[in-house]
Amino acid sequence: MMVNTISGAIFFHLFTSLGVVHVVDAAGDTDRGALFAMAYGIWVCCVVKLTLEWRARSSPQRWRRPEEHAMYPSPLAMRRRLQRALFATALLTAPLGNISADETKDLKKDAEGIQVLTQAVEGSKFKAVRATMTVETSVSGLVALVRDTSACAEWVYLCITSKEHRVVSETEMYIYTHNDLPWPVSDRDALFHVVWEQAADSSVTMTARAVGDSDINKKRGVVRLKDALTNWTFNPVEGGVEVVFDAHVDPGGPLPAFVTNMLLIDAPFHTLTRMRALALSGRYDNAHFDFLKAK
């Protein structure tokens, strides 16, 4: 049954549009098809095992002469030897899953005026992601958009709810967010300490850092993020505002390759795409904040 299952999987990956999937780990590195190679190795071992068992049944031990027993072991002995070989193969192929870290900045996507890049972070096995674009709008409008927690699900990819937990001032607050990850992965949530500030060059930065020791709004079956940092930077430029999104998140456990790829590439890209559409809708054109000073 195992041979049939793996044979079908190999056929569809080699002879259909699926292709050989390169697994991407939580740090954004690829295994260069190592998972497929391991599956193929298991298929070969299964075929060898079936062949040996078939030959053993075709030549029962009782038909052999005593002097042949040492040269031709019994089917039980052959099975045990094969099991040891399979175990050794698993040990030898296991290191293929340990993907080496890439220390260089890597452009992952460049489309529709949005660039998504990843970069290694010293002392962390998880990569940071940066996404950039330019929008024909105002800084105050973008600040209002990000501060509007009720609109989170409209533009932040995977966000299903966000709300203010406590407002300290116009530039400091605590925000709770809940992100919906695809089954069978558990959802993630976090309580963020958010701080806004304006620099001398008129650029505005929002820094949101997860409050790791908080149990506020903690829900059963949802993984609380304890190590997460995100930044929004809005730089006034000719014809609009340059938007820079930076994030470095420890997902709190291993994730499937398609989810890791989603978080590192798809999520920031779709988030900026929806952010631009909402910013151009006119909803926040009249926004005003006292901490934003005209330079």
**Nearest to 41, CA basis, from 79, 88, 77:** 88
pLDDT at res. 226: 87
CA distance 284 to 190: 26
Query: What is the reported pTM?
Result: 0.64
CA distance 293 to 240: 17
CA distance 288 to 274: 22
**What's the gap between Cα 247 and its chain centre?**
12
pLDDT at res. 220: 86
Q: Go through the chain and tell me how many residues it has.
A: 295
pLDDT at res. 48: 59
| Tens-digit pLDDT string for the chain (295 aa) | 555 666 666 655 555 555 555 555 554 555 556 555 666 667 665 665 666 566 655 554 444 444 444 444 555 554 554 444 333 333 333 333 333 334 467 898 999 999 999 988 888 878 899 999 999 999 999 999 999 999 999 999 999 999 999 999 999 999 999 999 888 888 899 999 999 999 999 999 999 999 977 777 778 888 888 889 999 999 999 989 999 999 998 877 766 666 666 678 889 999 999 999 999 999 999 999 999 987 6
pLDDT at res. 76: 54
Domains in the chain, CATH or no CATH each: 2-97 (no CATH), 106-279 (3.30.530.20)
Instruction: Name residues whose C-beta falls within 8 Å of residue 192's C-beta, 6 or more positions apart in sequence.
Output: 174, 175, 176, 177, 208, 209, 210, 211, 228, 230
pLDDT at res. 29: 55
Radius of gyration from C-alpha coordinates of the chain: 27
pLDDT at res. 53: 63
